Structure 1
């Protein structure tokens, strides 16, 4: 019930509606009433909400309920691993978008064996932590790697290769890093399209996009839909040019 109260408060705030209007509309939706029916015949219950407003409530309700369900699943999974800290739990519960929950869960999500997994099994995690800490100012690379050499890791080069695999995985799974990269990519990347197969576009429907580029943040929804269709139909190749060197 507490989660449902939060959902109602969130929707009311986002749509600038009274909580009672949202509560009444949700009850009608949960009873199986359709959006057009509610908008036309239950105005006295909803406070005269129109179809657009009712549909907006329906959409956000579905998203937020799914978000809460996913949070519960993620929290349970991490808790069962014995890795749920109060800080992590608070961050997951506070997340308002599904992607943020998934980013927080990623380091704890069951995964296939990776090169980083193998490196950890070979005892190279402390070396990776040394690299991540960026605090060492004395000694040589060979001296720092020496304690980690073994039959499985016979050379310094292999020790650092394994440590780098661990570092790469740790950084890639860091929620703050992923959020920053996503933001910077959206703000600075270019959406680039080129011709893949002109014969697949005999009427030239996608001619505008045969050699096209535009800042990602400026691409309107209708243009993105057209580009997606062109890619699905095999007419266009689509890629992002992002500021990789600056990230």
Structure 2
């Protein structure tokens, strides 16, 4: 049974009339991780922000977005705000943009949780402390006192993952969450996402152009090009026998980069990523 159904999603620029996503339909099952892949400008992030109803004001969208039988497209904004965070949680590419730069990160976390739960201040602090420790953040009270610019990209991603652990949303949407991180931190953050899925059982939409990350985390893959879905299927099938030329190009490019990396590092050039 589908937890989320996106039916004939269309996104366009109201000022120019340019169609950015012409007609996309897909579904997400309970406990599943769906990866959306494609190059920059393919419509991945637009699609995810459309699900959250967070695209910039100049963009319009139509179609049905149904979460657990509720058509989000028809919800008033006041009701949609209740859905964001508690039922749909988005982890952004740039952690700095997720927080108010003029306030400590702890203020944002506490405020978000207070909107969705009637917990005391002490309960909120204790739940955040446990969640932050579980994702490898040392001294959570000190982290929460810091401002966003005082934390690294990897730490900000961990803070957002910790918030998701406490919120326990139905769906986590991760929009290129490892792009701005170095290779070692990327690996650590991806492992945190893997653990997050098993810990709270949330479904996940994972947006990435890194097929190595996708192969590690996703059950199914949806490939986008120029705003359109050109291929979809189980992850192993996409990597083993992609049908669309664009998907084959993405997979072959990843393999070529992997061979080059292995050669540079003295490997045999055939290791699987």
Same fold (TM over 0.5): no
Normalised by the size of structure 2, how large is the TM-score?
0.20
User: Greater CA radius of gyration, 1 or 2?
Assistant: 1
Greater helix proportion: 1
Normalised by the size of structure 1, how large is the TM-score?
0.22
Highest RCO, 1 vs 2 (Cα 8 Å, sep ≥ 6)? 2
Greater strand proportion: 2
